[in-house]
Amino acid sequence: MRYYLRKVVFYLLAGWIAITLNFFLPRMVKGNPVQVIIAKTQRLAPLPPEARHALELQFGQTHEPLIVQYVSYLQHIFTGNFGLSVTYYPSPVVDVIGQALPWTLGLVGIATVISYIVGLLFGSYIGWRRGSWLDSLVPVSTFLSAIPYFWLALILVYIFGVNLQWFPVTGGYDNTVMPGFTWDFIGSVIYYGLLPAFTIVLASVTSQVLAARNMMVSTMAEDYVVTARAKGLRPGRVFGSYAMRNALLPSITGFAISLGFIVNGSVVTESVFSYPGVGYTLIQAVENDDYPLMQALFLIITLAVLGANFVADIIYGVIDPRTRIAS
Amino acid sequence: MTFSEQELAAPAAEHAVTAVDDAPRKRWAAFRNASWKLWTGLAICAFFVVIAFIAPLIAPNPNQTSSIGLQPPSFAHPFGTTNIGQDVLSQVLAGTTGSVAIGFIAGAITVILSMIFGVGGGFLGGKWDEAASLISNVFLVLPGLPLLIIVTDYVQSRSIVVISIVIAIVSWAGAARVLRAQTLSVRSRDYVDAARVASESTWRIMLREILPNLMPIIASQFVFGALGAILAEAGLSFLGLGAPGGKSWGSILFFAQNAQAITLGAWWWFVPPGLCIAVLGAALGLINFSIDERINPRLRTLALVKRASRDAHRKATR
């Protein structure tokens, strides 16, 4: 119990540090973001004073002391007030992120889980059958795991989108279909999501395979596995109950880490497909110097990764008593 | 950075010699088997490193435009030309310099940082571990992309070196966590307890008992650090956030994407840079894997292993 309590306290602390960094980082940027934004929007439409005021609030352009700004920043976070977006002016930042989030959660979430499970099972199996022909897959997966997400996306777009024209290559759904809970719309979403999802799975599964294989091979020489085999237990039982369970331990922590990698890769993948998720929105925000949106996205991604790590740590504590005893 | 590639690899090489304590014949067999991966990986890496150094001599003007426009590969331009008539081969050669430099610098910094925080914290435990984990976690949760933009804004100069340092600072935390988890597991093993009971010094336990068991993971962290940095920089440049004027494989892809190379079917423009990234990455992976096999003989992908176990099985069932 003490272990879990410590973890909770620890992650609350880490979350606070992340939030505080998010407050200070934009204030370290040289130049005046507000001026940049005003200069940009001036060409499109004159900026109303209240929007300017919102921007100034966002960047601490008030003449209040820092501590007062910090407190009001915290209040804004908990009330979900991140100001107005420049790119999607005059929508509030919260609405923009709210629209992007489901797309990314769906696409990246499903792709990550598929890649993780397939990679672990397949990798452990290759490790289990060490010395068989399956070993020849190791150099192949080494090559595949080195392929950049976005380049794989480009190649797939070139082959399946441009040449064969099997799949659409931009957007999240067919614009002629009305969004809603209709079979047409859901089918369109799945159809448009296939190629990006396939890209993410293909680009990330191979490193999972390699990691799982190496862990499995190391575990197989442990005394308890040797003992289990010597006892004459069925190979399937040794594989499942003895070897795999222990080989998977490090990859529980690995899941949170690979989630970070995959999120990074997905940002670029989304931008290739112009997929309306968080990653594509982030790139849009960067290109338009949309600081309010950038900062809020930064915070959302940060807290999501933090949450994933927290869950991984809790699970790790449950399945591996040694970590609890160590603390 | 004062650490060279060789210095980083040296401890691994030492262990490779001492760790495999087999009969000479077996060791030769192991070496022969590991060697094709090692030599292939090293040869490819050496090739790219050489290219990285001589690129300015053989491809002095990668940005030289000409009026011929977008052309498929020909005798004059083996990789074809871009939409404004630049020679793609020259661009790929020049890009090698940037990408190789980024991989090595960032990989080295990643290993050093992750060993200090991951192994140090995991081994010492208590307050040290708490502090190291806290720092690691804070770095782990900072998404690299926005952070990179903000920091480079702050630095006011996005050079290749600055970008690789920032990439390493943003990405070492994952490696540190992996190392920490493994350190915790190794730390609670019998032989470490035995060494403690025998009142070995902390340093000795660390260097003789724990570190050798972490070597495979440290080796793979260097490779993943270098590989991750090359990929991260390629992604950044692809999004137009790379070093301005700096040539890397990613920046070629950025210009290709901007000029609609895909819809125009100009495969010669976007295939070579990506392929270079993948091939260099695979080479790093092969080197890493053969280091792992040297240190941890169990990892070997041997036909030999199979034969040995078959023979043993036959003997046992006879």
Q: How many CB pairs under 8 A join A and B?
A: 190
Interface of B with A in 123-152 (CB under 8 A): 125, 130, 133-134, 137-138, 140-147, 149-150
Specify if B149 maps to a domain: yes
Contact at CB, B178 and A282, closer than 8 angstroms: no
**pLDDT at position B35:** 65
Contact at CB, B174 and A257, closer than 8 angstroms: yes
Interface of B with A in 43-102 (CB under 8 A): none
Output DSSP code: residue A62: S
Specify if B74 maps to a domain: no
Q: What percent of chain A has pLDDT over 90?
A: 0
For A145, which of B156, B285, B296 is closest by C-beta distance?
B285
Alpha carbon separation from A27 to A162, A234, B75 (Å, rounded): 44, 63, 54
C-alpha A103 chain-centroid distance: 12
Tokens of B262: 């895909």
Per-residue pLDDT reduced to its tens digit, A24-76: 766 665 445 566 666 666 666 666 777 777 666 655 555 667 788 788 888 88
CATH topology for A106-324 is: MetI-like fold (1.10.3720)
Q: What percent of chain B has pLDDT over 70?
A: 72
Q: State how many domains chain B has.
A: 1
Per-residue pLDDT reduced to its tens digit, B199-236: 888 888 888 888 887 877 787 788 778 888 888 888 88
Q: Quick check: B167 and B232 in contact, CB under 8 A?
A: yes
Q: Where are the alpha helices (DSSP H) in B189-266?
A: 190-197, 202-204, 211-238, 249-258
CA angle B4, B10, B16 (to 5 degrees): 150
Specify if B23 maps to a domain: no
Q: What percent of chain A has pLDDT over 70?
A: 79
Specify if B10 maps to a domain: no
Helix, coil or strand: residue B81: strand
Specify if B72 maps to a domain: no
| Domain span holding position B181 | 37-61+95-317
- Residue A90: asked if its preceding bond is cis (omega within 30°), the reply is yes
CATH number at residue B242: 1.10.3720.10
Helix, coil or strand: residue A92: strand
Per-residue pLDDT reduced to its tens digit, A154-202: 888 888 877 777 777 676 666 666 666 666 677 777 777 778 888 888 8
Specify if B20 maps to a domain: no
Domains of chain A, by residue range, sit at 1-79, 106-324
Q: Is the pLDDT of residue B5 over 70?
A: no
For A283, which of B125, B239, B265 is closest by C-beta distance?
B239
Q: Is the pLDDT of residue B2 over 50?
A: no
Specify if B118 maps to a domain: yes
B47 pLDDT tier (thresholds 50, 70, 90): very high
pTM of the model: 0.72
Q: Residues 6 or more apart from A111 whose CB is under 8 A from it?
A: A196, A197, A200, A201, A204, A262, A266
CA closest to B267 among chain A residues: A158
A 10 A CB-CB count for A161 gives 20
Specify if B1 maps to a domain: no
